[in-house]
Structure 1
Amino acid sequence: MAWDAQAPDWAEPPQTAPRWPVWLRACLGGIEDPLGAMSRARLQLFLWMPVALAGGVGVYFARLTEPSASEYALAAGLALMAAVLALRAALPMRFPAALVMLAALGFLLAGLRAHSVAAPVLSFRYYGPVTGRIVMIDRAASDQIRLTLDTVRLDRVSPARTPARVRVTLHGAVPEALEPGAQVMMSAHLSPPPPPAAPDAYDFRRSAWFDQLGAVGYTRSPVLRAAPPDPRDWALAAHRTRMRLSQAIQARITGQPGAIAAALMTGDRSGLSEATREAMRRSNLAHLIAISGLHMGMLAGFVFGLVRYGLALAGRPALIWATKKLAAVVALIAATAYLWLAGPAVSTQRAWIMVSVMLGAVLMDRRALSLRTVALAASLLLIWKPESLTEPGFQMSFAATTALIVALGPWTRAARRLPRLLRPVLMLVATSLIAGAATAPIVAAQFHRLSEYGVLANLLAVPAMGLLVMPMGVLAAILAPLGLAGPALWALGLGTGWILRVADWVSGFEGSVLAIAQPDPRVIPLLALGALGLILTRGVGRSVSVIAILAAALLWSRAPTSRPALLIAPEAQQVGLMTAEGRALSKPGAGFISGRWLEADGDPASVEEAAKRPAFTGTRATRQTQFRTAPLIHLTGKSAPDRLDEACTPGAIVVIAARIPEAPRTCELWDLTRLRDTGAVAIDSEGRITTAAQTKGRRLWTRP
């Protein structure tokens, strides 16, 4: 149509779109119509809410220094100004303004949360009497029982310097009378939460800070029960109930199948042996023993179906009653009871929020499974516990759920053309493949391993969870007050026994686990933003998303060749030198740190195998090798300072597990005094030094 010459003065003639090539128009579709793109984006603001919040939270945790009061004030002002723009600005500005507001809010929430949980952290090694109340009983990686205590009292340590919580591993005999709420006393070795094993390694101090865990340690002395649990202590009533139910389940279902059943039904994993845990990890079934969205969803789904179809048997009243909503209410009550019983684990709380949001959608006549419900659940979690963003469980849960919802539409269309009998089987295969593909990058980046037969293990084990384990657990809970839970527990044991056999079988395959080198820390954020961009954007947004994913892949491909040539442990207890055969360790031992190094290298060798690699020579207390053009000597033992003068030759690098008052200037010395300031040390093949203090910064949780 020709331009109307009688149009008002303020009207502009329509602009003819440039005749770009088809492929370029596809890439720049959002730019051709910016107003339309902004309008579409504004309608999707709810879906972008957790992304923007996560951006602000991520900025807080990525900083190397703690934000100052002025920086918090600046973020608050930015959030307020962006909120005003989001409400009153012109249409193209509203969506970006809303994203800025949410990001600033995420930054503020993360800082508020970090300061609100502040508690004393032990700054020295302590040995002496420890008194406290048991708040948690679990099992360490060494298969030893460990106790988490609060209301802690330490000899000759003022209350202002006493940690709110400590965790003690029991190396001696374990009393049978231990239960949550009991007051206990012991003589224990305590130390601050350990620093990272390497500059780029996971920092346990951060998670300990948010758990208010101010010291960890061990005891070889007997644990004495000073007082029984206070019956009026309702805060630990759930934990006591959990432990009693766990003991009852394991008394009826013996062995590790009973321990798995107790873990699934009550959240108590103290009965699981390290061999069982490792088999579950190697077969990619570890998610089955950590109560998560799978368990909560199966339980709520079974209760929902049981109540809804049960009410349908009522006949004519079922036509009047809102049976679907009644079933949703009962399922929500069951999920809440499961949350109360299973305890305060973050994965359990996250699962309950997701299930509650979905059941709430049913009550409001909305779709239970949609990107909006996932976005709401993620936003609530980030507002409540912003540190969840840094946890693998949060990342994997929402990655799997989002991928399954995105794939639900195409699957529904494809399923109509499939034989009815094959649909459930193919649905199981499809969900396992989709969830596995969505979480595989996170598993590989966070745990440095991939289970090559994980899909097979899940195809065999997950149906037993849904068809036998969770339904029988619910029935056992219903029948237990009547004393009729025996048959249900027997069937429950069959299901958990099958899961254990699948885990043992799959983990025994040759090459069942593929070792993956630790990627650059930017890889997971880039992958996440790229995947979300593909889902939530069009045109140029999708092009940028593809670029982000390709950049992440490029960074990850460089991971094996970018590993440090030399690593020094934070307390000089181990030195690792990269060789053509892999990282050679100066000595056996320091199992936790040595294991983390090898995992990050993508090296499947054991600590003992790495210590036997030909690189270091000499006695056990004096290990030496060559690094670049300089001698490298590792000195340990009580007589290490006496051997320093002989080892400290000009140009040599000396690592010594002792404090040297006056460091000699003839060699590069790394002693405990210097390492206390730097933490773990990494040196690359060019001689560039990186320390944990540089990469972790000065944050609330890194200060002594």
Structure 2
Amino acid sequence: MRGAAFRDALARVIDEQRGSLLPWVPVLLGAGMAIWLALPFEPPVALYAACLLGAGALCVPRGAARMFGVAVLLLALGFALAGVRGHLVAAPVLTRDYYGPVMGRIIDIDANQAGAMRLTLDNVVLDRIAPQDVPAQVRISLAGRQGFFQQTPGTVVMMTARLTPPNGPPEPHGFDFRRYAWFEGLGAVGSTQTPAVTAYPPQDGALLIERVRMILSGAIRAHVAGDAGGFLAAVLTGDRQGLSPEVNQWMRDTSLYHLVSISGVHMALLAAFVFALVRGAVALVPPLALRVSSKKIAAAVALPVAAFYLALAGRDIATERAFITVAVSLGAVLIDRRAISLNTVAIAATLVLLMRPEAVLNAGFQMSFAAVVGLVVLFDALRHTQHRWPGLRRWRAMGWVLLPAAVSLVAGVATAPYAAASFNRISHYSLPANMLAEAAMSFLVMPAGVLALVLWPLGVGPVALWVAAQGTRWILWVAAWIASWPFAVSAVQTPQPAVLPLMTLGGLFVILWRGWGRWLGLPVVAAALVLWGLTARPALLIAGDGAAVAVLGAEGRVFSKPRGAGYAAANWLRSDGEIISQADAAARVGWVVGDGRATIVVAGQRVLHLTTAVAARAAQDCGGADIVVAAHDLPPLGDCTVFDKTVLRASGAVAGIITNAGLRLDTVEATSGRRLWIR
């Protein structure tokens, strides 16, 4: 009897969910993909088959059991699709450091975080490396601003460069650039101090869209000087080279950076402007407006315009995701469905994941769909409120005033956990910043920018461009002003790996589940927040090249030296939730420094960092230390744990965790396991 009662209760719960199950499809697919990406080993083919067959067998029964089987099948399908994608993108990866001549065709030009120009090359030729072992693509940063550099995509260039395989995480469980590079097709990264010399000009028709993109970007920056031109070029073409590091920091500190990167905001504004323009034009011809659906004509025109914008702005994950979301919404209009609903958002998310399973771990993907889901819930609530209390319609004018604030608030709350976890910063004034900036973006920058591109062949594009520039200058002024406010930004430490999945699951359960059971998601969100607060950072960190060692002291992270392993050091401080330079962190009390040696005690273990080549060559024994670190190779020292150049090349970065048994040393190699992207 109890079993039958339980089955009946479960069947009633499942029946309540009918009609609202589609949004769970991308959730389950994404969960399966995330599991595959997080595995510490490469699954054998038999495991894929077993997952799919086992899940398929669970779909055979009827009722609640079948629903459970379908859920497991979606998990297994996501797992398998991620594996297929991982093998399909396989390409050669550089296995050792390389210094010498490099020749290749430019397929992309952008800027790194320091503002230096960066080239992505394909058809690469390297000296003394067999053609079958040469990476399909390499990315090279050019020294300085390279203002003289005039090459465009399609140009074959030559240079002397230093290349390395993609680097592993700066600490165990940290962001793995090797995985990102694998799915992007990057087999090596590096830099050059020499000019890039043209070997061959672009072939006719080769990378034409990319060349048009760079020509437009240059023309925009020629007509609109300074950061305003760089901002406008970034918005209209996706080329962010013209943005200074200072502007980038302002935008991040005020949560306005989404206005710079091509995202759903830009694609939606573009589509909405074209949609309104075409629909208005149809309405001006009454005989036509009475015979056709102006809404469908507008959607049919806006869709190819959005597709052209996708091609022009560059096909990265963020741009593709934005286009798919807009395309699904316009498609819904064409078939007389609501343009924006949880179902259309689910279809868009599913399509993105089917194309790029790795996007599930992408912060942009997470933030974009979190914001859209939050806004859909907001507008659904407003619509239901109007139906329930019709008398509120008289306050519609006030609603239009409050709506922008509500939209910014909901989008900010929805994306805050993902932004904080990914960028380790919380902007306290994001609400006023977005309210002041987004109006200019919606009513000046995008409409005038689109008109400028359309009117450019007629010679009057610069007039519309001037109007758009006024909007960009206002946005930059808002960003600089609000970023200068006291306490504009606070740092937050990186959470444990389980925090975001738990928070996402709990939040989605509250939104998607029907009935009182939805509130069970709130304790899950609360548990995730508690877990985040309890996250303990490593007491000891050793860079993968041995150039930096840092311990967690009473004041915060303390470094053995003010320079060295800059990328890893910056990541450690950011993950600790500190806004401080490595030099300032090295000035804190803790290390005893002298004669190329730095020592400190961590959890009863004496750590010795040999900070110079002279000190490393002079080392004959452990020097009374339990752990010895050096960026150079060391001779056998005795009864101590040694992390020198050879050991660290195999182990990767090291983290020391304090446990009841003492200091446990975790390495990147041990925690990452063996995957396709790990060599």
**Cα deviations by residue, 1:64-96 (Å, 9 ceiling, x for unpaired):** 00101211221232344345x2xxx21222211
Shift of 1:345: 1.6
Q: Aligned to 1:331, what secondary structure does the other structure show?
A: helix
- Structure 1 counterpart of 2:152: 179
Aligned to 1:58: 34
What's 2:162 paired with? 189
Matched residue SS, 1:43: coil
1:516 aligns with 2:492: yes
The correspondence for 2:424, drawn from 436, 442, 448, is 448
Q: 1:615 maps to what in 2?
A: 590
Per-residue deviation at 1:39?
2.2
1:322 aligns with 2:260: no
Partner of 1:652: 626
**Are 2:665 and 1:693 equivalent residues in the alignment?**
no
- Residue aligning to 2:183: 210
Q: 1:527 to 1:507 in 2, by over 3 A?
A: same
Which piece of structure 1 moves more, 487-496 or 174-183?
174-183
Counterpart Cα distance in 2 of 1:627 and 1:277: 37
Is this contact kept in 1: 2:561–2:611, CA < 8 A?
A: no
The answer for the alignment partner of 1:149 in structure 2 is 121
Percent of pairs with identical residues? 45
Unaligned runs of 5+ in 2: 387-391
Whether the 8 Å CA contact 2:157–2:200 is kept in 1: the answer is: yes
Match of 1:373 in 2: 344
2: distance between equivalents of 1:536 and 1:505? 39
1:635 match: 610
Equivalent position to 2:78, from 103, 106, 113: 106
For the aligned residue pairs, the C-alpha RMSD in angstroms reads: 1.9
Native 8 Å contact 2:213 2:312 kept in 1: yes
The structural deviation recorded for 1:421 is 2.9
Match of 1:129 among 96, 101, 117: 101
One-letter amino acid of the structure 1 residue matched with residue 586 of structure 2: A
1:98 Cα offset (Å): 1.0
1:103-155 alpha-carbon deviations (Å, 9 max, x no partner)? 11111100000000001111111000000000111111122111111111100
Partner of 1:585: 559
Q: CA deviation at 1:633?
A: 1.4
How far has the Cα of 1:694 moved from its partner? Answer: 2.4
Equivalence for 1:341: 312
TM-score (norm 1): 0.92
Residue number among 198, 202, 214 corresponding to 1:229 in the alignment: 202
Tell me the secondary structure at the aligned position of residue 134 of structure 1.
Answer: strand
Residue aligning to 1:564 = 538
Q: Which residue of 2 aligns with 1:267?
A: 238
Report if aligned partners of 1:650, 1:666 keep a CA contact under 8 Å in 2: no
Q: Which one is further off, 437-446 or 682-691?
A: 682-691
Residue of structure 2 aligned with 1:392, choices 363, 387, 408:
363
2:630 is aligned with what amino acid? I
Shift of 1:269: 0.6
Conserved? CA contact 1:640–1:657, under 8 Å: no
CA distance in 1, matches of 2:153, 2:331: 34
* 3-state SS in 2 of match to 1:147: strand
Change (3 A) 1:387 1:418: farther
Aligned residue pair count: 668
**2:375, 2:169 → 1: CA distance?**
35
Q: What is the letter of the counterpart of residue 120 of structure 2?
A: T
Higher alpha-carbon Rg: 1
Q: Which residue of 1 aligns with 2:139?
A: 167
C-alpha distance in structure 1 between counterparts of 2:340 and 2:8, whole Å: 33
The answer to whether 1:674 aligns with 2:650 is no
SS at 2:600 equivalent: strand
Task: Give the deviation of 1:693 after TM superposition.
Answer: 1.7
2: distance between equivalents of 1:466 and 1:43? Answer: 35
TM-score (norm 2): 0.95
Shift of 1:260: 0.2
Deviation for aligned residue 1:298? 0.6
1:344 alignment partner, SS class: coil
Structure 1 residue runs of 5 or longer lacking an equivalent are 1-11, 18-29
Alignment of 1:434-473 (within 5 A): 434-473=410-449
Secondary structure of the 1:99 match is helix
1:419-568 correspondence to structure 2 within 5 Å = 419-539=395-515, 541-559=517-535, 562-568=536-542
* Separation in structure 2 between the aligned mates of residue 525 and residue 593 of structure 1, nearest angstrom: 25
User: CA shift at 1:31, angstroms?
Assistant: 8.0
CA contact (8 A) 1:174 1:223 kept: no
Q: What one-letter code is carried by the residue in structure 1 that aligns with 2:576?
A: D
Question: Cα offset for 1:552?
Answer: 0.6
Distance 1:31 1:435 in 2: 39
Amino acid at match of 1:496: T
- Distance in 1, matches of 2:522 and 2:426, equals 24
